[in-house]
Structure formats: C-alpha cells, structure tokens
Amino acid sequence: MKVKNIQTEKPFVKPSLKKRIMKNKVYYSMIAPFMLIFTVFTILPVLMSFLLSFTSFDMLQLPKFIGLSNYINLFLNDDVFLIALKNTLILAFITGPVSYLMAFVFAWLINELSPKVRWFMVLIFYAPSISGSAYLLWLLIFSSDMYGILNAYLIDLNLINTPILWLETPKYALFILIIVQLWLSLGVSFLAFIAGLQTVDKTLYEAAAVDGIRNRWQELWYITLPQMKSQLMFGAVMQITNALGIGMVSVSLLGFPSVEYSGHTIVTHLLDFGSANSTRLEMGYASAIATILFVLMLGSNLIVQRIIKRVGT
Amino acid sequence: MENTNKTHEEKKLIIDALKQDELNWISKKKTKMKKYRKVRLSRSVGGDIFLLIVLLLFGLFSAYPLIFTITNSLKGLDEIFVFPPRLFPRNITFENFIDLFNLIGNTQVPISRYFINTLTITLFGTVGHVLLASLCAYPLAKHSFPGRHVINQLIVYSLMFSTVVTQIPTYMIVSWLGLIDTHMAIIIPAWGFTLGLFLMRQFMQTIPDELIEAAKIDGANEYQTFFHIVMPLVKPAWLTLIILLFQQLWGIDGGNYIFTENLKPLSYALSQIVAGGVARTGTAAAVTVIMLIVPITVFIINQTKMLDTMAHSGLK
C-alpha cells in the first residue's frame, strides 16, 4: 500500500479546470449516456414546462408569449382549479403524513418479528403498491348497488337499509381516495425503513437498556430514529411526491370528471388540459398547472427535509 | 514484476478478507439477533399485544382486496354476485380463466403479439436502464471530477417531483424524436429513471475503495474495473433496479404513445377484454390476477436483495 501512496501523493496544486476535465474524461464518457437521457427527458421538460407556462400554445402553432395570464386565469378565473388545488392539499396533508407514519410504524413493528414472519409481512404490506391495476378492486368494494362489498356487509349487519352511493356522492370522494391511497402507499419508502432498521446497531439497544432507557418509545426516539435519519429523509421524499401526485386513482375510481369535481386534483386538472388525447390542447395553460405542481412538490420536499434534519437533536 | 505480483496477492488477500468479513458479518448478525431478543428489557406485554393487534388489522386491510381479487377469479358468475358477498368460494372453478383464454382467441391480433410487445418493452427498458444507470452511478459514487456535485444534487432534486409534472414536454420531445408509435417511446424515457440511478449510486458508495485501487494497480482501466469488480459486487442493487423498472413497465398500456394495434402491450389488450361490463367481473379478476402474479413473484424471489439495497437508500 505504501508504494501507491508515494506514487499518488504530489504536492497539492489545484490544476486548472480544463486539465481536471481532461484528466477525468473517462468518467464523463461513463456518465454521458445516462446524463443525456436525463437531460432530454427530465431537465429539458422541466425547463420547457416552465417556459411554456408563460405562453399560449396549442401544439399546432408556435407558442405565443402572454406573460402571467395563465397563472392569473388559474387563480382568478378557474374555479375548478381552485377546487383541484384544495382537494390536492387536503389529500396531501392527510395521506402524506399518515402514509409516512404508517410506513415507519409498520416497518418498526415488523422489524421485531422473527425473520420468517417478517419476510411474510413485508410481502403482504408491500404487495398493494406493486400490484398494478389491482386497486380497481376498490371499485367493487365501494360499488353503489347492494352487491358492492361494503354496502353488502353494512346491509347484512343492519347498519344501513339502502345501499350508499359511495362513488357518486361528493362528500365521500376524498374519504375514498384517502383510503385507497393509503392502501397503495407502502412502497419503496417502507422498504427503505425496513432495511434501515436492520442496519441500526443492535448493541446500542443493550447499552441503552443498561443506561436506563425505560420503554420502546424512548428507545425509538433516542436511538432508532437518529440512526435512521437518512432513510427517513428518503422516505419523506417518496411519500410527499406521491401524496401530491394523486390523480390516476381518482380518474379510475371516481370517473372523469368526478361528480361535482369532488375528486378533482391538480393532476386530473392537468390531464384535462394537457394530455395528448384531451380535446382542449391548451398546452401553455397545462404547463402553468404542471409548474405549480412542480413548485408544490419541490417546495414541500425541501421544507420537510429541513424539519427531519432536526430529528433527535 | 515483483511489485505487480505483490499487489496481485494483496488484492486477493483483500478480496478474501472482504468475503470473510461478509461471512463474519452475517453470522455475527445472526447471533446478535438471538442475543438481542433475550436482552431487550424495554418491552411491556401490554404494549406488545396492542402493537400486534395494530399490525394484524392493517395486514388484513392490506391483504383483503388482493385476496378478494384472487378468490373472485376462482368463483363462478353465480357466486360472485351472491349476497352477502363471500370471501372464499364454495366451488372453486377455473371458468374465468377459460373464458379469458377463449376471449383472447377472438382478438384481431393474436394475443402472443401483445405478450411479445410487453416482453420487448420490459426487457429492453430494464436491461438498458440497469446498464446505463450503473455506468453513470459508478463515477458519481466513487470518483471525484468537476461537475459531480452538481449532478448529484440534480439527481436528488429530480426525486422530488413525479413524471406527471413533465409529461407534456416529454410527449413533445418524444414526438420530435420521431418515436411516437414505436416501443422506443416507452423504452428510452424509462432508461432515465432517476430513482434507479440514485439507489445504484448509494449502493456503490459502500464498495471499499481498496478494491478499486487494487484493480487499478493491476492495470485494469476504468471500464474493466467497472465490469469485473464493481458490477459483480452490486448485484443486489441491480436486482432492485430490475424489480422497480419491471413493475413500472409490465403494467404499462402504451397510452398516448402507441396507436398501432400490432404494437400495443398486453395490459392494453387485457383492459379491453375487461371493459365488457359487469358480466365480465370474473374475467376481469382473472386478468388482474395474471397481471399481478408476475411482479409479485419477482419480488418474492428478490426480497432479501432488495432490502439490502434499500438499506443504503438514505439521503444525507
């Protein structure tokens, strides 16, 4: 090992940027293919979306600059957008934190089980999020006739006399979306938490027990959480992004548009104006919606990151 | 000559030591697990029972719809609409699956075509992504060069919004590139899946620098190091990437990008069958079961590997 040190250690002079780039060109060649795709399909779209949001654009003619009109229209003249914004925020404020807590609490509980049971429970909890279109079964559960599973049980138990129109009644819309979204929400962050818990140094628990940590809650707060901070941050990013991106579930369960826009979210509003088979083709307007969603997602993520950094300190 | 021999041995030693380390680590982990369950003092019986009940309840909530879908697919039409609904069928029948196969036989385009389309998309999308993401993750994780920090930051930021935000410009770009109505319209954007790159990078950071140094001393260039040293070591990570991408691509229905019937994926064909209304409820369940079984099986096989990767997923 010593031989190597002598070879590489030179008196430290920072070489010029050009030299450093040339010296590392093999690394640039390695990152180039992915970064090219990343630039074309992630960075460029974000920039385009931002720029288009200041234009009127129908995909046929060239975009026309109209300043802040799209944003002004969204907030002042588009009542449906305000409903969508309100619904999105309600859904995000509930499903975000709840799903985050659920992912953590269940990961934490499962972690105490024996390895075989743990393996099985991870499968059960993670399965909904990878089961593709299986969430459509919730259509059958909330179906409005007496054969709808929930209605059937409720009638059978004599709790109600006539079937409830779950999917068609505005006041149930958000409730249903929350339930289904929570059902779908134990995804990658849940796995990250399980994995993170397994890497927590177990000897610390023994030491803590000796040092007078009395119950599992103290143990959790003083030992487990601080050690998992990085996974907690990662999980937060995943859950927040999902919570603000609710839309497809609403379209599939409540229809489009949902009754009185009760399940309308920013994403469904965006699809309404900006999807390729939408009849409106108001891409500038849709880009403004997308930009608002982008700012919401990035903003709330950055705020939450700040908060989590303080855990256990 | 002697020098290179020495380093060669050295490298072998390091590799052996690492392997030994890993074994030690596993056995240590096992004994620790046993020990730790005995030692834990900070537990109350009441708390244990309460938490177990919570776990069971949510387990039911989580599993119920899936179990219901599976049992529904095994029920005859008369039993699906029985009141009150029964979770488990009296008579198990495969008529839904048989119906499904008959319906499939009647589609304009043979079902094998749809299946091959889905397979093409999934395969090329997954393989290409794993390759490009690993290649990109390696310098980002293990070497420093101008621009690295910025790129790492960009990747973390890009995890903070979903693709729905960028779908309009993405559609425009895909059409500028002339990819509309080809499989590439789905495959190429899938290669740029940033969560995959992020997880791969995190996992690669755990590779000991000594191994890479040793390979360099042996005269391997960066690409050789990457393919012969790094890639074998990050197997859990690429299995995770495969699972994540597979889950996304398997159920994709082509949506706005693919119009030609011949090119549409399986999920589209099956959803057309299901669209036949209430009478197809059983068939629909059969379809869901078929689409569901594949990703879940893949996860069952790879759960341990995936957790290995996720342990390093943390953001700093």
Are the Cβ atoms of B271 and A1 closer than 8 angstroms? no
pLDDT tens by residue, B60-119: 999 998 998 888 888 887 787 777 777 788 888 888 888 888 877 776 777 788 889 999
Are the Cβ atoms of B161 and A209 closer than 8 angstroms? no
Chain B residues whose CB is inside 8 A of the A244 CB are 162
Using 50 as the pLDDT threshold, list the residues of chain A that sit under it.
1-2, 4
Residue A195's alpha-carbon distances to A110, B7, B145, in angstroms, are 11, 36, 31
Confirm or reject CATH 3.30.450.20 for domain B94-316, answering yes or no: no
pLDDT at B39 over 50: no
Question: What per-residue confidence (pLDDT) applies to A203?
Answer: 83
Are the Cβ atoms of A34 and B65 closer than 8 angstroms? no
Angle ∠(B267,B272,B275) on CA atoms, nearest 5: 125
Are the Cβ atoms of B311 and A199 closer than 8 angstroms? yes
- Residue of A115, A267, A56, A99 whose CA lies nearest to A186: A99
User: Tokens for B58?
Assistant: 């949510």
N- to C-terminal Cα separation, chain B: 44
pLDDT tens by residue, B278-288: 677 788 888 88
User: Tokens for B73?
Assistant: 């697919």
Number of H-type helices and E-type strands within chain A: 18, 2
By the CB < 8 Å criterion, does A147 face chain B? yes
- Give the separation between CA B212 and CA B205, rounded to whole angstroms: 12
Angle ∠(B28,B33,B38) on CA atoms, nearest 5: 130
Torsion of CA B176, B182, B188, B194, to 10 degrees: 100
Are the Cβ atoms of A130 and B247 closer than 8 angstroms? yes
- Give the separation between CA A238 and CA B162, rounded to whole angstroms: 9
> Which carries the bigger pLDDT value, residue A107 or residue B18?
A107
- Residue of A249, A309, A261 whose CA lies nearest to A99: A249
Nearest CA in chain B to A194: B307
Question: What per-residue confidence (pLDDT) applies to A1?
Answer: 45
Contact A189, B199 (CB under 8 A): no
* Domain ranges within chain B, ordered by starting residue: 1-32, 44-92, 94-316
Contact A10, A23 (CB under 8 A): no
> Which carries the bigger pLDDT value, residue A284 or residue B39?
A284
pLDDT tens by residue, B114-142: 889 999 999 999 999 999 999 999 999 99
> Which carries the bigger pLDDT value, residue B277 or residue B59?
B59
Quickly state the pLDDT bin for B1 (edges 50, 70, 90): very low
Q: Where are the alpha helices (DSSP H) in chain B?
A: 2-39, 45-73, 77-80, 95-105, 111-142, 148-158, 167-176, 184-191, 194-204, 209-217, 222-224, 231-233, 235-250, 266-274, 281-310
User: Tokens for B217?
Assistant: 């001393």
The distance of A2 to chain B (nearest Cα, Å) reads 11
Question: What per-residue confidence (pLDDT) applies to A86?
Answer: 95
Question: What per-residue confidence (pLDDT) applies to B28?
Answer: 58
Question: Across the interface, which of B39, B83, B136 has its CB nearest the CB of A147?
Answer: B83
- Give the separation between CA A267 and CA A48, rounded to whole angstroms: 18
Section B20-45 average pLDDT = 58
By the CB < 8 Å criterion, does A103 face chain B? no
Section B290-309 average pLDDT = 87
Question: What per-residue confidence (pLDDT) applies to B34?
Answer: 52
State the span(s) of chain A assigned CATH 1.10.3720.10: 69-309
Question: What per-residue confidence (pLDDT) applies to B290?
Answer: 84
CATH T-level assignment (fold) for domain A69-309: MetI-like fold (1.10.3720)
Are the Cβ atoms of B139 and A27 closer than 8 angstroms? yes
Interface test with B, best of A18, A21, A42, A197 (most B CBs within 10 A): A42
Please report where in the chains the tokens 């009760």 appear, as a residue.
A262
> Which carries the bigger pLDDT value, residue B41 or residue B153?
B153
User: Tokens for A104?
Assistant: 């953590």
Beta-bridge mates of residue B195? none
Three-class SS of residue A136?
helix
> Which carries the bigger pLDDT value, residue B248 or residue B28?
B248
pLDDT tens by residue, A22-52: 888 999 999 999 999 999 999 999 999 999 9
Question: What per-residue confidence (pLDDT) applies to A2?
Answer: 46
User: Tokens for B247?
Assistant: 């889950």
pTM of the model: 0.85
Question: What per-residue confidence (pLDDT) applies to B31?
Answer: 57
Choose the weakest-confidence range: A132-136, B36-40, B304-308: B36-40
**Looking at this protein, which amino acid is placed at residue B167?**
Q
Quickly state the pLDDT bin for B42 (edges 50, 70, 90): low
Show the 3-state SS of B236-258. Answer: HHHHHHHHHHHHHHHCCCCCCCC
H or E element at residue A8: helix A2-8
Quickly state the pLDDT bin for B38 (edges 50, 70, 90): very low
User: Tokens for B99?
Assistant: 């119906």
Interface of A with B in 239-258 (CB under 8 A): 240-242, 244-245, 247
